[in-house]
Each structure stands twice: as C-alpha cells, then as structure tokens.
A and B are shown apart, each in its own frame.
Chain A
C-alpha cells in the first residue's frame, strides 16, 4: 500500500522524528522497518541516520519516494548502484521477498550505505604486477578525470627485452574519480580497456575506447609503483577479491565476469520518449536472460510538469506482505521553475 503526504523541505527535522512519523502514518508503531529511498540515479539507498535523511529530502525533486520494508524480510542486496536498472524489478524484490530464498547477508558494516565508485577486480586471475580497476561513472557526478599519453615500455619477448610503445596515464584531475579512488596513478601503463588489449592501438583509438566505455570503465594497468600491490600468497577466499578502499554490491564480480566476455548489457540502456512524453528505458526485445532484464521505468519531469504526481498507470502497486510503498511530496520553498530536461526519478 502507499501513502502520500507532504513535508517541509526547509525543516525536515531529525531521522528519529521521521521514523516515528512513518510508523504513525502507516499505523505500524511497533514494527521494525528499514527505510529506503530512490535517488536521482535510480538507486535504492537507505535512510537510517540524520545525514542520509537530510540528503534524501534535499534531493527530492519534488517527489521523494520512500520504500519501507519489515526488517526481518529485508533484502540488503536490493540496495546499491544500478539496483533499479539492473535487477529485473526492484519492486518485485521489495514486494515479494519470498521469491528470493537467499540467506540473509552477513552484515559487517552496513556497506549498503555507500555507493561503489571503483573496485579492483579479477585479482585471482591477473598476474600480481597487474591491476584491473573498475570505475563506476554512472551514479556519480565526479568527472572520470584522467589523461593518457603515448610512451614506451619494456617487454620480455622471445628475442629478449624489447622496447615497445605503450599507453600511460599522464595526469589525474584533482577531485576526479580516478584520483579519488587511489587505484590509478600517473605513469601507470594501460594494458587493457574493458578486456581488450591496447597494444597496437593508437592513443586516439584508446581514448575513443575509454570514452565509449566511460559508463563502466574497466582498465587493466601495470602500476608504476609496484610496492603498493597486495602480496597474495594464499588464495583462501576462493572468490574474486574485492577492494578494501571501497565497497560494492555482492553481485558485482559475476557481472564483471560477463563484462569481459563482451556479453555485458548492463552498462547503459537508451531512453525512449513516446508521444506521451514520458522517457523510459528501452527494454531489450526478446529477452534471453531475464535476470538482467530491466523493466523499471524512469520518469522525466518536463518543464511542463506542474507537480510530481505520477500518472496513475504506473501506480499499480499491490499491497503485499511486509512491504509498504509510499510517496511524499516535499514542498519546495522558492523552487525555481524547472529547466530543460529535468532530473530523472526512478520509481
């Protein structure tokens, strides 16, 4: 079921008060719930303290959509980047948790509070001198922020050591994604871009490849400074290693495995606006793998949109055990009239 009510945007109050308000509105005073909201990128993010509550209210534009789940039925994997787009249907996750007979995850430190921005992947299959880094441009406003150049490196060949041309990182933009991850550094040699070797390709070709993959960029580098590489003498985990610098959803390694085979479809979905004027992601025709299929829709608020009410056709949520969906309108004091193509809100 869903509820709709308004909040004062300028004075959102504390999370505790808001939590109480939710319990009151839904008449569930003694039920422990997890509160989540969808941010502008379509990610389902949790609300569990004052800071992320304030962030959530401030991003409402003007609608803030809140999902409430009973704590014991909660599916943590629903949170994270691209959850709304990659999963078959977030709502089905949320509304019918019994479809997912997964064991509850071992929660160490609520990694779901954060959105991954980068990760080291395929640690188990790469030589120790190499590092494969994934940058998640999607879901962050930060620029990728690095430059590449031509250079030469030394390779071991059947004819002995040979100097060969290579591509190197030449500069990191301060405050950019590449710099903030700490995983890439100036003079690191770029060996692969999304699984494709760069040797024999020109600087411009590699640039084009990186930009074409910029939403889900995976670069394999040979770091200039090899001392920081993790020494791996035991592979006890059995699964691919994950970076300690950042967190990522548990599903990432599987997806990446397919990325490198060139089968990956998750990085981008084009948007179609039919004559009704509502942009939505273009579904894949004749789906072969339904698990990746995205049926979620994105609503784009146009200049013409007077307020944030959703067209009724999209509000076919049914009441389901343990889950309640609601939406709130946050009145915006002094709200400027929306400009151009607006912001994307995910249901």
Chain B
C-alpha cells in the first residue's frame, strides 16, 4: 500500500503540485551593488543605472523597473538614452557598445538587448585608436558619435552599428585651421567630451583632454570655432540658448566661452576656481541652468580644496548668493539635473538634482527653500548600516500599518514634499495582495521597517535602540551643525553610514506581534528589549533586569565584550516603538534565539549559554536554564565576539582594498592591457590549481560527541499550547532546541487574565529530548489534531485563524540541520522521520511553515515546510508526512551570506541578500507573486515632450466616458491603448479585457 501513496507516483498529487508550487526570482530590492554608470532620459523620464557586474537597471515611477544583464558581466562605463526613443546605448569597459530597447510584449514592456558592437580600427592600429571615451547619440536618432582615445571621432549608424567611414572626424582635419604655435598633434589626443548644439543639430562641440575645444560643423565637415583652453579638460556643458558653453577642468576651475559667428577663436568670458585660491581637485562635471529670475544654477561635481577637503565626495550648487556643497559619504558615480525638457521653454528651470553615489541615491529638491532631500520610493540603501538580521511579517492589520506609517512620517519631516520627479512609465501590476513588513536589524542598533508588499521596497519607519544605552558616542553630535561662515559650505546628505560606534548595539533577532504591536528585539551584547507601539512621544524609565544564564556554574570567566551600560532615569522616546523592558543576559553573549508570546506576555531568549523566560507584564524573570556543557570552554570565553570582530576587520580591510582598486582603475587604463591581465589571471589560476593538487583539501570524518563546542548554543525557541504532560489537559509550554541536538520542553502556568498581575508565572521542566545524531535543532513546531501548525498568539482571538484542534492528538516536529522528525505528544514516541543529510549530503539552514494556495481554485491551500539547505537549494516538504515535494536551486552554494540572510514569508515567498545592499525576492507559490509589470509608452507628439502626460489624460478622459469603454476599447489599436494607460480606471478595464482574453 505504501508504495502507491508515494507522491512521485500519484498523478493527482503531481497535478496539484503544479498548481501549488512554482519558483521565480521576481525582483531585486534595494540599491544596486557597485554602481558604475548613470543615465537619464528626460523624454521617457526614466533613469538607468549600470553596475560593475554588467547589470543595467531602469527606474521610473514607483513600480516601474526593468533589469538587463550584459552577458559579458563587464563594468558598465557609460549609459546614453537615444533622444526621443525607447532605446539606450551602453558602453562597457571592454569597449563594447550595446543597444537596448524597451519593447512591448504580452501587455508589458520588456528591456532587451538588440545589438552589440565593438569599434575596430584599421589593421595594425593600436587599441587606443578605437578605445571609446565619449559617446554622443545625435538628436537625429540615426547616428552615434564615438570619441576615442586617439582623438578620432567615429560615426556609426543606428541601430545597425555600421561605421560611416566618410564621416569620421580625424584630429588632422580638426587641426587644419588652428594656429601652429597654439596646437600640436598632441592637442587632439583624447576626446573628453562631445556635446551637440542645443539649437543647431548640425554643430557639435568636441572637447579634447588637453584643453582644446572645437565647434564642428557636420554639414560642411569642418571646424568653425576653436577654443584654446590652457587647462586639462574634464567636461563641457552648453547653455540652453547655445550662445555660451562651460568647460570644467582638472585644476578645479570652470570657464565660460562665448559662441558667436564673428569671432572664430574667442577668449574665455570668465574663468573661476570656486574653491580657490589654494590648489583644488578636478571639477569632473558641470551644469549651467538658467532660470526666469536671471540667476543661474551652477552645479558641479568636485573642485574641493585639495589639501583639506580633497577626500570629500561633493557636489556643489551655486545659485546667486546661495551655495551648498552636498557632502556624500561614498564616492559620487554621476549625477544629473531634472529640468524643463520642453525645447520651446526659454529657461531650464531646474527642479531636482539626482546624485548616484556608490552606496545610495540622493535626490535634492532645488525648488524648495533650503534644498531639502527627496525621500526616494525605491533604491533604498538597505545597508546604510550593515544588515545583521531580518524578519518578515505577512498580512499586517491595517490599524498597525497606519500607526507605523504615522510614526515614520514624523521622522521624515525634513524631507521635501516634492512628488518623486522620476516618473516615467506606468505601473500596471495588480495591487499587492496584502500588507507585508520586512524588518531589518542593523549593526548600529537600529531596526528598519520596510513596506515589502510590492515591487518597491520602501522605508516606513526606523527604530533605534541606542537611546536605552550609554554609549561613547554623543547622540547630539551632529555633523550638520557647521557655523555660518564655514568654507566650503559642506552639508552632509544621504543616510549611508557604515561605521557603527559600538558593535555591541548590533541587532541579532527581531520578533514582532502584528496583532498587539509588541516588538522584541535582541542584540549582540545579550540585550533583549520589549517594546510597545505608542503614537505619542513619551519619557519613561525602562525596566531593567538581568538574567544570569550560568547560574551556579562556577569558575568561568567571560572573555568577550562587556554588557552595555544602561541609562539611569527616564529616557525620552519619539513616537513609535518604545522600549519598556530591558533584559540583559549574563554573560553578555550574542542572543541567538528569541520568541515572544503576546497573549501570555512572555518573552524567551537564548544565547550560547542557555535560555531564559521573562514575564514582561509583571516584569519578572520566570526562570533561566543553563544549556552549557562543562567542557565547552569556547562558549564560555565568548569567542563569538572575537569571530565578529575578525569578520568586521576583514570587511573593513576589503573595503579599503576595494577603494584603492577603484581609484587606481583609471578610465583610460582599460584598453591596452586587457589581454595581459587575462593572461596573468589564467596563470594565477593555473598556479592555484597546482597548489591545490599538491595539498588537497581534506575533511575529517568524525562522529559528533557531546563534548563538541557550542552544543549549548540555543538555536530555536517556540511557544505552544499543547499536551505536554498528559493527553487530557493542555497547557502553555516553551520549547528550546540547542546546537547539540537537545530539545527542552517547559510546562508553563500562566495565571488567568484577572489574576495576571497577582500570581507569578511558573515554569517546570517537563521533557528533555536528546537527538542521537546531535545535529543542531533549527526548528520546533507543534501540529494540532488536524496536523495543522498551531496558530500564532492572538491569531485566533482576532478571528484570523481557526482555533487549533485540541481533540485529536498533537504532534511535535523537530527539525535539525540533518533530519526532520515527528514525535507523538504527550508521550514522546518517534513517528516519522526524513533523514536529509544522510541521503543527500545537504543540511537545513532555514525552515518555515508556509501556506500554499492553488492557482486554480481559491478554496484549496495547504501548509508545507519551506526549507533552504546549505547548498542553496530550496525544498518544499509536505506536512505532516514529510515527503519531499519539489526542489529548486536558488542561491549559489558558495554564497554563504546569501544563504544566511534568507528569510521566508508565511505565503511561500522569500528574500535573500545578493549583495550587502540588495534583497532578491523569490516566490515558491503560484498564487503569491510580486513582480514588476509596467509599460513605458512612447509619447505620440515627440516635438512636444513634456506634455505627454497631460495629453494622455485628456485622451483617457474623453474615451472613458461611461457607456463606450467596453467595445470601443477592444477595437482600439495599440497606440490608443498606450495613450489611455495613464488613466487608472481605463487601465483596469484594459487589464480585465486582457485577462479575459487569456
């Protein structure tokens, strides 16, 4: 009989599995790792970011996201949108050019690579002859001008990338009319900048690295003007009317040049070193923006005094007497200004400054007084302090959601109220099915609350636990309090701050009860904080207790860090989650597990020494249990702190190495020695391989014993109302699992609500199970009489779950890293097991119960275990029979931090870190899928760009008048559909039609 029940042989089950499970990596949240290039299309109102791993990401209105990956995985050096097209060109560091386009497919736009091209010189020419340094997509959309290291400018046709050799601009031709004494052949060595005349598409400005600037007439194929700059050129910018342009230079100066038909070799109008007179760093990019009131905005990158501020990453904005140097904590990759893109408009009228720094995106509102920052709806810097843990809560009740948002909005008052200026494309994804919160704990003692419901991971609220403790750093130490007469007028912007004052503040475990608003947070120095959501500011004393987990174990000395010092007296807390209880474990080792029961008002915590239970209602420690093996010296001395600090120092040194590499990797260093580098790499690989052969990696095969290190390490804690002692009476219980394969069960006596404050909570050890394979226990779960996992505390009280079946017998599921085991309760007998490691050689890293709904019928759903193994595979294992349902490769097994960071949701989705700053979102469910789905429409009137939104709305309003939307819409063609997409109502109509069609 059993043979027939196996899932692999049951066609009905197989079909059901197809309806339930499906693996997709859906979207990347956060900030791209190692961004290397920035592009912006004023026409599409889309921004593009390229990375050093060859990824290209497009962002528009919230929810509008596209991603592409260059096969070569090479660094993206430059991104240029083709004017008035849904196309862009990327330049990689291998000198290849790629044409990408946004095309509609199946009702949504997709980013696809169309062509690739590498410029080839005549045979025998040096590689520098074709090394592209500047790219200019011409407004005619037909050609690209490619400036090279040799000074030659090649012209290629689009989209075929065919080189138009007769139109090549050679240095010889440029120099024809330049006086001999001013220029030599070397003046035209490297094309630094190419700029098209804003009014006359037949003229382009060519800037050469040595300072020579030439205005080139494309029609007559000759230089009309020569501008003889003396300084090394960095960049060029045309003024809107084309009468002047600005050049910026290596010495920190910028120069204005007049362009008039009578003077063919004009002198500069103005030459300024904004942060002089002492030597300054280069100004690498400059904007000159005109306004109605006549005062221009001059915005430039760099130019700081070399000696005292040479290490700053700054962008300065000068507007009349106002001047601010925005100071970024990481290197500035590139920036752009959002200004009026209407060619008919007389002035630029800049509205926002968008800066891509290496670790974050910063947008400054130039319209509002004081130039406040704009809160970005996406591209959040998840890693503004390193992420130390994460916790996901599905389906947040609306009330709590609103309270968190309101607490967060009070923190964001210094942000600009300007609507997000990058608003291209239309998000057509269905509304997120539920409100989900992702909580991340950080090294600096903060917890960030992210709206993880949809495609845009958005920061709702930030909680800091630092105020409870006395730390060396003065919280009032504000970097922005610079005096009036400070020069340069630096202003710190952005949130990226990787340097933690005290590593002990780091958050290790988070548990939020979504029904009661209780939050428990535990950290690196054994601190456990219980908090409550308060809508008002408040000042109160945090109750403080100590839990000595070693109890009577004598003669041990903790060599790790000290516990955190607490603040005496009342502490002022802002609205939001406010701590009211602090428990500090002694020794102050890292808290390794945490559980909160909001109904019983109990919090349980565990470290490498043992675990304890605290009654946060009566503010009384109920009990502690030492799980330490007496021979485990390592745990006692606190090596975790040492491991941690080692990790940290490693990370810092890596950061240093990376920095120095970045700075040494000069833009022009690319071309000639690529093959050399590759050769050297190959040689190195060969050597490494040989070395490996000589001294092979060995693995010791030894049975685990009770004396192994860290056997007492508490890995998991779990509250359950179940039958612990006898089958007639159920009672609250606390379960704990250790690294050494031991499970402890404590029977709890919680007084009834009316006497809750009068009688103490009592606990008594009822069971201790030793798994003979001694593998770490990573999950404990009780299944009720219907084999359904017990509901969360207060879930039943809020009518959100069926009450558990207390009639049938309960079962206990213990998940170790190696096995899944089901035991009966109250008498513990083993019932079922799945020996994962013995069969497959993989180990369980993360496990969660997830509910899977069928995509075919609404009324079927089941609970299964979602498991992530150390090999990066995700397995779904059925409950309660522990049968493997399906397996998907998800994370590379070498990506240890990715595997460690993985968090599952209750509905079969998950997140893991693909870099310190990015979460990859994946889905195991056919039903719950959050992925970007958006349309970028080509505005119909290309000559009148900025009005596309308005005309779209008008069209929509006309068309969506009641009565004629149904039939007409279906008949209307593609174009109409695009025009209508700006109207939400019409959008929904179209969507339903599309869905109906399928």
Residues of A whose CB lies within 8 Å of any CB of B are 137, 143-151, 170-171, 178, 194, 196, 198, 201-215, 217, 262, 268-275, 279, 282-286, 339-341
User: What chain B residues lie within 8 Å of A273 (beta carbons)?
Assistant: 767-770
Contacts A147-B701, A214-B703, A217-B701 known; 8 new A-B pairs at CB < 8 A: A151-B696, A211-B701, A212-B837, A272-B767, A274-B767, A283-B830, A285-B823, A285-B830
- Beyond A268-B773, A282-B823, A285-B830, whether A274 also contacts B841 by CB under 8 A is no
Contacts of B837 in A (CB 8 A): 208-209, 211-212
Which residues of chain B are within 8 angstroms of A341 by Cβ–Cβ distance?
A: 706
Q: Does B504 contact A (CB under 8 A)?
A: no
CA distance A262 to B833 in the complex (A): 12
Contacts of B701 in A (CB 8 A): 144-148, 178, 207, 210-211, 214, 217
**Contact across chains for A204 and B699 when beta carbons are under 8 A apart:** yes
- Residues of A within 8 Å of B819, CB to CB, are 212
Alpha-carbon separation in the docked complex, A151 to B695 (Å)? 11
Which residues on B sit within 8 Å (CB–CB) of A282?
769, 823, 828-830
Q: A143-B702, A149-B696, A339-B630 are in contact. Are A283 and B829 (CB under 8 A)?
A: yes
* Chain B CB within 10 Å, residue with most, of A262, A285, A339: A285
| B47 interfacial by beta-carbon distance below 8 Å | no
27 contacts between A and B (CB under 8 A): A143-B703, A149-B696, A149-B697, A149-B698, A150-B697, A170-B696, A203-B697, A204-B699, A204-B870, A207-B699, A207-B701, A208-B818, A208-B837, A209-B837, A211-B703, A211-B704, A212-B773, A269-B830, A270-B830, A271-B769, A272-B828, A274-B766, A275-B747, A275-B767, A286-B831, A340-B630, A341-B706
- Nearest CB in chain A to that of B706: its residue: A341
Chain B proximity of A304: nearest CB distance (Å): 13
Cα A229 to Cα B498 in complex, Å, equals 63
B677 contacts A by Cβ under 8 Å? no
Contact of B698 with A275 in the complex, beta carbons under 8 Å: no
| Chain A residues, CB < 8 A from B885 | none
Residues of A within 8 A of B768 (CB): 272-273, 279
A275 touches B765 (CB 8 A): yes
Check B772 against A215 for contact (C-beta < 8 Å).
yes
CB closest residue in chain B, given A207? B699
A342: min CB distance to chain B, Å: 11
Q: Is the CB of B702 within 8 A of A144?
A: yes
Q: How far is the CA of A275 from the CA of B870 in the complex (A)?
A: 36
The answer on a CB contact under 8 Å between A284 and B829 is yes
Per-residue interface assignment for chain B, residues 626 to 670, with 1 indicating a CB less than 8 Å from any chain A CB and 0 otherwise: 000110000000000000000000000000000000000000000
CA distance A215 to B774 in the complex (A): 11
Return B867 CB to nearest CB of chain A, in Å. Answer: 15
Of all chain A residues, the one with the shortest Cβ separation from B839 is A196
Closest 5 CB pairs of A and B: A205-B841, A214-B703, A268-B772, A285-B829, A212-B837
Closest to B707 in A: A340
Q: Are B772 and A212 in contact (CB under 8 A)?
A: no
B823: A residues at CB distance < 8 A = 282, 285
Q: Which B residues from 747 to 763 make CB contacts under 8 A with A?
A: 747
Residues 690-720 of B at the A interface (beta carbon under 8 Å): 696-704, 706
User: What is the CB-to-nearest-CB distance from B157 to chain A, in angstroms, rounded to a whole number?
Assistant: 48
The answer on a CB contact under 8 Å between B770 and A285 is: no
**Residue numbers in B under 8 Å from A275 (CB-CB):** 725, 747, 764-767
Indicate if the CB atoms of A208 and B843 lie closer than 8 Å: yes
Q: What is the number of residues of chain B that contact chain A, defined by CB distance less than 8 Å?
A: 45
Separation in Å of the B829 CB from the closest CB of chain A?
A: 4
Q: State which residues 721-751 of B face A: CB under 8 Å.
A: 725, 747
B703 touches A209 (CB 8 A): no
- Which chain A positions have C-beta within 8 A of B839? 196, 209, 262
A286 to B822, CA, bound (A): 12
Q: Are A150 and B696 in contact (CB under 8 A)?
A: yes
- In the assembled complex, B165 has its CB within 8 A of some CB on chain A: no
How many angstroms between the C-alpha atoms of A285 and B812 in the bound complex?
12
Question: Which residues in B have their C-beta under 8 angstroms from that of A137?
Answer: 703
B772 proximity list for chain A (CB < 8 A): 215, 268-271
For the complex formed, measure the closest distance between the CB of A147 and the CB atoms of chain B, giving whole angstroms: 4
In the bound complex, do residue A206 and residue B841 qualify as a contact, i.e. CB atoms below 8 Å apart? yes
**Cα distance, A271 to B772, chains bound together (Å):** 7
- The closest CB in chain A to the CB of B822 belongs to A285
Tell me, rounded to whole Å, the shortest Cβ–Cβ distance linking A3 to chain B: 33
Tell me which of B630, B698, B841 contacts A209 (CB under 8 A): B841
Residue on A nearest B744 in the bound complex, by CB: A273
Chain A residues near B706: list those with CB within 8 A.
341
User: Which residues of B have CB within 8 Å of A143?
Assistant: 702-703
A272: chain B residues at CB < 8 Å are 767-770, 828
Q: How far is the CA of A206 from the CA of B823 in the complex (A)?
A: 28
Q: Which of B766, B821, B842 contacts A208 (CB 8 A)?
A: B842
B619 within 8 A of A: no
Determine the distance from Cα of A217 to Cα of B702 in the docked complex, in whole angstroms.
Answer: 11
Residues of B close to A171: CB separation below 8 A: 698
Instruction: Give residues of chain B (835-863) contacting chain A, Cβ–Cβ below 8 Å.
Output: 835, 837-843
Cβ 8 A contact of B775, one of A149, A206, A212, A340: A212
Question: Contact flags (1/0) for B891-919 with A, using CB distance below 8 Å?
Answer: 00100000000000000000000000000
Q: B257 to nearest A CB, angstroms?
A: 64
Question: Whole-angstrom distance from the CB of A161 to the nearest CB of chain B?
Answer: 20
Contact B871 A205 (CB under 8 A): yes
B770 x A270 contact (CB < 8 A): yes
Quick check: A212 and B818 within 8 Å, CB to CB? yes
Across the interface, do A145 and B702 meet the contact criterion of CB distance under 8 Å?
yes
Residue numbers in B under 8 Å from A151 (CB-CB): 696
Docked CA distance A130–B824 (Å): 42
Answer whether residue B318 sits at the interface, using C-beta atoms and an 8 A cutoff: no
Query: Shortest CB–CB separation between residue A22 and chain B, in angstroms?
Result: 35
Interface contact B838-A212, CB-CB below 8 Å: yes
List, in ascending order, chain A residues with CB within 8 A of B747's CB. 275
Q: What are the residues of chain B within 8 A of A212 when measuring CB–CB?
A: 773, 775, 818-819, 835, 837-838
Knowing A270-B830, A282-B830, the reply to whether A214 touches B704 (Cβ < 8 A) is yes
Chain B positions within 8 Å of A201 at CB level: 841
Chain B residues, CB < 8 A from A284: 829-831
B771 at the interface (CB under 8 A from A): yes
Q: How far is the CB of A333 from chain B (nearest CB, A)?
A: 25
Distance in angstroms from A325 CB to nearest chain B CB is 27
What distance in Å separates the Cβ of A341 from its nearest Cβ neighbour in chain B?
7
CB distance from A164 to the nearest CB of B (A): 16
Mask, B68-85, CB within 8 Å of A = 1, is 000000000000000000
- The answer, among A170, A205, A274, A340, for a CB contact under 8 Å with B840, is A205
- Once bound together, how far apart are the Cα atoms of A300 and B947, in whole Å? 84
A286 and B827 alpha carbons, distance in the complex (Å): 12
Closest to A217 in B: B701
- Could you tell me the distance between the alpha carbons of A113 and B78 in the complex, rounded to whole angstroms? 80
Residues on A with beta carbons closer than 8 Å to the beta carbon of B843: 208
Q: Which of A209, A212, A286 gathers most chain B CB within 10 Å? A: A212
Min Cβ gap B696→A in Å is: 4
Scoring A196, A198, A262, A270 by chain B CB atoms within 10 A of each residue's CB, the highest score goes to A270
Q: Is the CB of B703 within 8 A of A285?
A: no
Residues of chain A contacted by B829 (CB below 8 angstroms): 282-285
Interface 1/0 per residue, B783-826 and A, CB below 8 Å: 00000000000000000000000000000000000110101100
